[in-house]
Chain A
Amino acid sequence: MATTTTTVPSADPVAGSRSFLSRLRDGDEIARLITFLFAASVVLITILLVYELWQGSALPRHQFGFSFFRTSVWDPVFDQFGALPFIYGTLVTSAVALLIAVPLGIGAAIFLAELAPLRLSDTLEFFIDLLAAVPSVIYGLLGIFIIVPLMRRVIQPELKQVLGILPLFKGPAFGLGFLTAGMVLAIMIIPYIISVSREILLSVPRDQREAALALGATRWESTWKVVVPFARAGIIGSIFLALARALGETMAVTMVIGNTPIISASLLSPGDSIASVIASQFKEATGELYTQSLIELGLVLFLLTFILNGLARIMIVVTSKRGSGLGRA
């Protein structure tokens, strides 16, 4: 089976075969080495990043230890720094965001995966992907000029009138605050829930649906009681992904949350989140302890998103391994 091409001189068995072959091998070796360096740099940068975060927060870690997470005092004058208000703000806004985005997102994903004809589904998915591309600062812009006044003048007073007895809705209607930030976050994370859940649902094998329908289930029952539970792990994974995204959101949150380190039961209260306080105070933090406390907050955020992203990926992999057939036709 001699090779019949003409262009490769290495076919010449006599004259320069070894030298050319070794040159070729060198070529491959060089390519391998160069690309390896680039790939390795990715790992190196990541290690450096974690190292910088760890080293850069050494002072407060030694000084405060774990009480950093239990203290709610953030006092630059007396050098007292506690992360609790910011952790609280981050969690509350993310919780509000999930409460709004999860039902909407899963509902939309069900529609796109189960009901809509493929063309419509793809078109709508296209728009959803575009929504995911809108940058945070634009959401912040809309937040400040459209959503905050709306909240202050219409929605929050309504909420106070109807649900004012609950501690959740006490206090003046600032417009800014946990609720507004949570709502803006919700809009930002919906696309992630929709696109991942849609893919997961589409990957559920056809026979699952058909079996349910054959047993007399309605379309909805087949979807809700069979398909969705089958894809449950993956959908939860998409929620974790969306949550990780919400935790790290900076600009939109800092523009509508009110920038005050407060822990309050009321959703109408202003507050602050980890990402938001770093953005607003990092450039101005005078003194090592102040600066490093902000870096420690960054480390905390990094760890939170790291864990969530890891869990998310595990759950998505688990589901896609389950449903290895085609979805509906």
Chain B
Amino acid sequence: MKRIATILLAGLALGCFVLAQGTLSLTGAGATFPYPMYSKWFDEYHKKNPSLEINYQSIGSGGGIKQITEGTVDFGATDGPMNDDQLKAYQDKHGSGILHFPTVLGAVVPTYNIPGVTASLNFTPEALAGIYLGKVTKWNDPLIADANKGVKLPADDIIVVHRAESSGTTYVWTDYLSKVSEEWKTKVGKAAAVKWPTPTALGGQGNEGVTGTVKNTPDSIGYVELIYAESNKIPYGNVKNAAGVFVKASLAGVTAAAAGAAKVMPDDFRVSITNAPGKDAYPISSFTWLLIPAKFSDAAKRDAIKGFVSWMLTDGQNYAEALSYAKLPKEVVAKEKKALNNIQ
């Protein structure tokens, strides 16, 4: 038995040694919103560069911001851009800045599980705000029913599902609600983690958790990134945009929402495109960003991440639409390519 143990030990050590040879490993953490996209990208990129592993852990945007600020990961990811306080905190801690790089565009959809209802419901901003404020409590409330004549809605209590942890998707959702509802703006505000006004609600871990909870809980409603609702085949609703049109989340709708912002993109790429103008725009759209330090102490890691971002801006974009994420507008791509030089 002792001999077996020694052999196992030696084998394990050898295995680690062998695996460690020449493999550069980068660790990133953050948003669950783009996780399907990122996992596909890092997988494909690894196939092209077998000696580079980019390990991405989807722990939520808040986690991405926190861990990159602590310096425990090489890059972060978030759908809620870092605010000025957070940027300052990073600067103070590291002596250099943190850069935002948009990767793709996505949509946050209201997804629901109502027994007997398979149609795509129409949601007005008032309905969505009302539900999440806890004022609209039943599915057959006029605020919902009036926009959905012809659909039989049950008189059941609405079960609200939200994110349990700090989340960029929550940021996008609350950003939208703050724009369309004055009450939401003053009472709750927009942030990655808020105090939810509904007395009874369920929390899910990550986009994955919310999707799973909605899927398993009748009469529930949640907010998730489009691909999660699509790939799990749960119904999601159309949302009335600023132009008064009910739009179903789609690549076209998200691209239309980003069109205006692309032309006036700020240098740090932090911008909100919720409730964008235009009749085709899907109102709950968002960019999602990689958080990359402006200064790397490890040249190999810096080159690796720059190489990935270059690939992501060109070849990588071709994988986006298959996963229901919209490509970046070309103005943004051009601007990012130049911004890559800011990474030292």
Do these two chains interact?
yes
Q: Is A270 an interface residue (CB 8 A)?
A: yes
Complex CA gap A66/B202 in Å reads 28
By beta carbon, the residue of chain A nearest B86 is A286
A114 to chain B, nearest CB (A): 40
Chain A CB count within 10 A is highest, among B60, B86, B164, for B164
Q: Is A284 an interface residue (CB 8 A)?
A: yes
B82 to chain A, nearest CB (A): 9
Assess whether A262 is in contact with B193, with CB atoms less than 8 Å apart. no
Assess whether B216 is in contact with A284, with CB atoms less than 8 Å apart. no
Assess whether A259 is in contact with B205, with CB atoms less than 8 Å apart. yes
B residues 156-209 in Cβ contact with A at 8 Å:
157, 159, 164-167, 188-189, 191-196, 199-205
Assess whether A259 is in contact with B203, with CB atoms less than 8 Å apart. yes
Given contacts A76-B191, A172-B200, A262-B200, contact A286 B164 (CB under 8 A): no
- Across the interface, A172 reaches (CB within 8 A) one of B193, B194, B219, namely B219
Complex CA gap A159/B194 in Å reads 33
Q: Is B65 an interface residue (CB 8 A)?
A: yes
Assess whether A286 is in contact with B195, with CB atoms less than 8 Å apart. no
Q: Is B335 an interface residue (CB 8 A)?
A: no
By beta carbon, the residue of chain B nearest A153 is B218
Complex CA gap A176/B202 in Å reads 9
Assess whether A283 is in contact with B67, with CB atoms less than 8 Å apart. yes
- Judged by DSSP, the binding face of A is loop
Assess whether B62 is in contact with A286, with CB atoms less than 8 Å apart. yes
Assess whether B165 is in contact with A284, with CB atoms less than 8 Å apart. yes
Contacts of B29 in A (CB 8 A): 283
Q: Is A293 an interface residue (CB 8 A)?
A: no
Q: Is B59 an interface residue (CB 8 A)?
A: yes
Q: Is A260 an interface residue (CB 8 A)?
A: yes
Assess whether A78 is in contact with B205, with CB atoms less than 8 Å apart. no
A279 to chain B, nearest CB (A): 9
Contacts of B67 in A (CB 8 A): 283
- Across the interface, A78 reaches (CB within 8 A) one of B66, B69, B166, B195, namely B195
Assess whether B69 is in contact with A286, with CB atoms less than 8 Å apart. yes
B26 to chain A, nearest CB (A): 18
By beta carbon, the residue of chain A nearest B201 is A260
Assess whether B63 is in contact with A76, with CB atoms less than 8 Å apart. no
Complex CA gap A284/B73 in Å reads 13
Complex CA gap A193/B213 in Å reads 34
Q: Is A280 an interface residue (CB 8 A)?
A: yes
Chain B CB count within 10 A is highest, among A73, A175, A260, A272, for A260
Assess whether B203 is in contact with A286, with CB atoms less than 8 Å apart. no
By beta carbon, the residue of chain A nearest B83 is A286
The 7 lowest CB-CB distance pairs between A and B, nearest first, are: A259-B203, A284-B62, A259-B164, A284-B166, A75-B195, A284-B63, A76-B193
